[in-house]
Amino acid sequence: MFTGIVTDLGRVRSLQDGAVRRLEIATLYDTDDIALGASVACNGCCLSVVEKGQGWLAFEAAQETLAVTTLKDWQIGTPVNLERPMKIGDELGGHIVAGHVDGIGQIVVAAEDGGSLRLTVEAPDNLAKYIASKGSVTIDGVSLTVNEVVGNRFGICLIPITREATNLGKAQLGQRVNLEIDLIARYVARLLGQDGK
């Protein structure tokens, strides 16, 4: 489990395609403190460490992961929001995040607003019903508050510290982003029989 508070902005340093996609990400984390098999959220996608070295971590992404996330879009140099799992007793600064990407959204508006950046994201139709004004959503692993919702589009605002600490500060029109809906919204919809299953 994660909180959606990014603790390092890594960069893709190596990619290798095959039956699985191997991703090496440069990081400022103390990799001596990270065990093989440990989970790390990479742009909101929970991946397991398969190899490591001083200043880098390696992960493998299966075809299913590549099909439902933006990981197949990554190139050498792509900035990646990183978060290690929370521990019992940690401050829950964002909201409860599973690291299971629900779908891919697209940035349709990016506008400066003083020192902040306002983004409008278009969500897939099957996820839009779970996104509520003043609720929480995870975009590329970042816990954010939804400002407004119109149809399947929703707006968020990035304050300066979020712009600097995450890759969303350089978000571009048309960019695809990983979305994870709020866990509570998912279970409420399930209990009410409104999840379509």
Report domain extents, the chain.
Answer: 8-83, 103-191
Mean pLDDT for the stretch of residues 27-43: 97
- CB count, 10 Å around CB of 105? 27
CA distance 5 to 84: 9
Confidence of residue 85 (pLDDT cuts 50, 70, 90): very high
Is pLDDT of 94 > 90?
no
The CATH fold of domain 103-191: Elongation Factor Tu (Ef-tu); domain 3 (2.40.30)
Task: Please give the average per-residue pLDDT across 148-154, as a whole number.
Answer: 96
Amino acid 86: pLDDT: 87
Q: Evaluate if residue 99 carries a pLDDT over 60.
A: yes
Query: What is residue 196's predicted lDDT score, i.e. its pLDDT?
Result: 57
Q: Which CATH class is domain 8-83?
A: mainly beta
Stretch 129-139: mean pLDDT, rounded?
A: 94
Task: Please report the DSSP string for 46-84 in residue order.
Answer: EEEEEEEETTEEEEEE-HHHHHHSSGGG--TT-EEEEEP
As a whole-number percent, the residues of the chain with pLDDT over 90 amount to: 83
Q: Which of 120, 139, 146 is nearest to 180 (CA)?
A: 139
Note whether 8-83 and 103-191 share their fold.
Answer: yes
Give mean pLDDT, residues 25-49.
97
Could you read off the pLDDT of 57-79 as tens digits, one per residue? 999 999 999 999 999 999 999 99
Q: What is the mean pLDDT of residues 98-105?
A: 94
Is 139 in contact with 171 (CB distance < 8 Å)? no
CA distance linking residue 91 with residue 5, whole number of Å: 10
**Band of the pLDDT at 197, cuts 50, 70, 90?**
low
- Asked if pLDDT for residue 189 goes beyond 80, the answer is no
Q: What is the pTM of this model?
A: 0.92
pLDDT of residue 1: 87
